[in-house]
Amino acid sequence: MQPVQGLRFKVTRPGGLCPVPVALRLNKGFTLLELIVVLFIVVLGFSAIGINISSGGDSAGLKVAARDIVSALRYARGQALMSHQETTLSLNLVENSYTVSGRGKIYAIPKVVKVTLVTAQSELNSDEGLGNIRFFADGSSTGGRITLTRGAVGWQIDINWLTGQIELNDTHAIK
């Protein structure tokens, strides 16, 4: 076998028949410019993801607070049905917190969330900023509406007075 000029050489096929020229390719890798462009694109992608995640945190935190209150209301209704005794969820609008009767724990609502309560006049204590949603042994309640807002985002919790049913709605979807 004899080398050919440049980067070509001859390979003979089995049996010694006609030689076939084959080009030798050298793998040079990536250039520095190509690596910098790829890294720049990756950094832009991660920064866009980070911005999207951080901007959605406010509305996600508000929804979590709303779902926690809905869960506490459903617990209070269930306790009233099972124990055949009145159970209340008490909202402290000054401290942004709530409690459920029979539990010693005070549940905090983030301070940046504005809480409004509409309920029966007998369940309000406006001097102390307290309001109650009361559930009775038959499952009914005093009824009302709790609205949680933060900026333009809001969630509304409706409590039916007759059935005690609790609904969570996005205020944007209602308008």
Tens-place pLDDT, residues 20-77: 555 556 667 788 888 899 999 999 888 888 776 655 556 778 999 999 999 999 999 9
Contact 90, 73 (CB under 8 A): no
Please report the pLDDT score of residue 164 as a whole number. 94
Residue 145: name the closest of 122, 123, 167, 121 by CA: 167
Per-residue pLDDT at 163 exceeds 90: yes
Contact at 8 Å (CB) between 65 and 148? yes
What is the pLDDT confidence band of residue 98, given thresholds at 50, 70 and 90? very high
Q: Which domains does the chain have, with CATH numbers?
A: 8-55 (no CATH), 58-174 (3.55.40.10)
Q: What is the residue type of 40?
A: F
Q: What is the mean pLDDT of residues 98-111?
A: 93
**Mean pLDDT lowest among 4-18, 78-92, 133-147:** 4-18
Place of tokens 């080009």: 23
Mean pLDDT of the chain: 85
* Amino acid 45: pLDDT: 86
- The structure tokens listed for 168 are 């969570």
Q: Is the pLDDT of residue 18 over 60?
A: no
Confidence at residue 4, expressed as pLDDT on a 0 to 100 scale? 47
